[in-house]
A and B are shown apart, each in its own frame.
Chain A
Amino acid sequence: METSAYAKTPVDRLTYSWRVRLRLMRRNFAYFLTELRRRPLALVGGIVVLAYLLAAVLAPHLTDHDPTAGNLRQRLLPPAWEDGGEAAYPLGTDDQGRDILTRIIFGARISLAVGLLSVGISVAAGTALGALAGYWRGLLDDVLSRFADLLLAFPFLIFAIGVMAFLGPGFLNLIAALTFKGWVEFFRLVRGEMMAEKTKEYVEAAKVVGQSHPSIIVAEILPNIIQSVFVLGTLRMGYMIIMEASLSFLGLGIQPPTPVWGSMVAAGRDYLLTAWWASTLPGIAILILVLSINVFGEGLRDILDPRLRIE
């Protein structure tokens, strides 16, 4: 009975820590919002990103035009503010007579989906592997680290293009290509932090109590590492979206007639002299989205950085 009473404190601490953590999270979130309000630029970025997300989700309800089939008699109309333009096609039409604005909105679906999925999977895989490698070291760590180093010998786009070349175009292949190289960064980050955290006292305490290794990793250490991962993920998201657009531009990504920003720009290239809007406007859509993500991510890093351990 004495032993359990003695051991009771660390165990209770571990059980309590869940509830306490939840409360802390809620409080932190409120704090986070106030901090965000203090940084208007990041706030604007966040709002724009949300707008894109909403537009992507609500796409069919936002316009009447069909994103994939066009009216050839209406091809290459300029945007509404130029002469020759029509209000029905606010941003003009492309070479197949499709409304550009509609295609941009639908294109947001693909770009955001690719961005979220590729970053999400990279984060998940990289974090999991990094945590394992950093915690257990040994052979697993050696093998994974060597593999990661090897992958790093390839420039990102080269590798992605290579993978796409062999796998062929398509949504899933694109995600695979981006994720295959993307996880490495998160792997290294988590591995490094894991190795640093492992030496700290609360890990010793948990082990003494007899907490199982997986439980330690997930419940104790990861919450501390999660924030740097989150920040890095946000910053990489913009990069992934640009990569996807680049691959689509080359024709290696999603295939037409699905509206994808990259291929829209590519298609518009032939008409650069006469219809500049076909290439330029989708690119601006990319630019605004990525810029907003980056600005928001920077603000996020600014807020989280000096308080990486909210305990």
Chain B
Amino acid sequence: MPGLDRVEYQPVDTPSPPLLELKDLVTVFPTRRGLVRAVDGMSFAMREGEKLGIVGESGSGKTVTLLSILRLVPHPGKIARGEVLFQGQNLVHKARAEMRKIRGKEIAMIFQDPLTTLNPVFTVGEQIRESMRIHNIVSSPDGCFSGLFRRGKRSAEYERVIRVMRDVGIPSPVTRARNYPHQFSGGMQQRAITAIALSCEPHLLLADEPTTALDVTIQAQIMDLLNKINREHGTSIILVTHNLGLVAEFCDTIIVMYAGWMMEKGTVDEVIEAPKHPYTQGLLRCLPHISEKQEKIYPIPGLVPDLAQLPPGCPFSPRCDQARPECREDRPIPLTELDGGRLVRCHLYVR
């Protein structure tokens, strides 16, 4: 994509504690047909300023991972096991009131379809301001009279709203703040949602397929915006998508998911040039190369499995061309760490 520059990321030199660390996270949904393990053993660590991409097909558990971090998994789903350490604190066991303080302020989220994510009955400005109100971002000025106090606070909030809107690139924010969501175009709506997410200057931004519902040209703009946020504010970003190309351009690190399992993790360069897991290899094989002449396209044979009725062992084994007998045994497959911090969950690499 044109106009997209990437910050060179050096993982090893900066030994700062990880911003976010997931340890063996398991999130389940009890359904009529059986227990669905939407996220089964997700583990990774993420640093400040890092851009992590989580890739997988629909239903692979990517969105649920994000929701689990914020503890917004819809009923009847719940986090069954594991830890989510944010700045060293385990979010899984935090009290609800404390969790609310984190949502929106420390960790913010943007969703896939901007039109349905914005509340149609409130103005955009109001929705941005609500975020600030909830977390009391704007402190009261030194006025002593309560009337002045409120007015001062209101105008300070208002200014901040305009500033955030300008930051995300919404033109004429003063008029636009009074508009309703349906009066915005798709790209503008997504910017508005990003504005909401940014209004409290979070440390971590969770982006769930933010560009899937938009045109390609608008996609580029939004990714530009996310890049800018990461660069200027140092905000870490987790980008969830099924678009490998997007991840390749934008992210520093990549995690590949399949049927709720975390299959592979590594830097983008490593994973794309030398994929270790058969599934990743299959994915990359599917992509036609624009520069080479290709005779055939090689899709991965078979279909994504029903999460309620997974086969024993590795969920990818039915479609894997390198499957071995132990891949179908009903025991957990450990996450093997290779050199350079690469992680793979596959019997091929288990010592």
A–B in direct contact per CB < 8 Å:
no
Residues of B within 8 A of A (CB): none
Residues of A within 8 A of B (CB): none
